[in-house]
Amino acid sequence: MFVTVWVIAAFTARKTVKKEPSLSRLRYLLIAASGAVLLQPGILRVPSLDVHFAEGDVWGAVGVALTAGGIAFAFWARYTLGKNWSGTVTIKEDHELVQKGPYALSRHPIYTGALVALTGSALTIGTPRIMLALPFALFAFIRKSSVEERFMSEHFGQAYTDYTKRVKRLVPFVW
């Protein structure tokens, strides 16, 4: 469902004016792909990575709640971003600096939501394999958000600098 919504919404985006270089994109995609490899038991066969450490109704309930909440937060952010959205780091035609809704809580709320959802999935699945994959997702989002920060700062100047002083990068009110 998540991928379907994202693909359909991509067709509503504005025309791209500036796009990040492919090598820049490759850097965070390789980090994310490395984490994805960890999630594949058939590729990385290490039995101790598949031992369940978090079992039970409480872990499952907390995990499902975090996953659903994270996805909902990411959807809200995607909807709020509207036609400014892109899967790659870009500046769009008539690009707006969105600061409302989830963007008043986090400068990168789609990544925040995805990380919360992944954490929820990790608790629900409860294996070292998925717990080890989480830092890869975090580092990939940090790398990509750094590129986005540079693009936004260059495009919006002082308005973006002021925004960064008011709103934290990924974790609302913290970081």
How confident is the model over 16-33, as pLDDT tens digits?
Answer: 999 999 999 999 999 999
Q: What is the pLDDT of residues 106-164, one digit of tens each?
A: 999 999 999 999 999 998 988 898 889 999 999 999 999 999 999 999 999 999 999 99
What residue segments make up the domains of the chain, in order of their start?
54-169
CA separation for the pair 59, 110 (Å, rounded): 24
Tell me which architecture the domain covering 54-169 has in CATH.
Answer: Up-down Bundle (1.20)
Predicted model pTM: 0.90
Show the DSSP H helices in the chain as ranges: 2-10, 22-38, 57-81, 109-125, 128-156, 158-166
Q: What sign results for the dihedral spanned by CA atoms 115, 95, 86, 158? A: negative
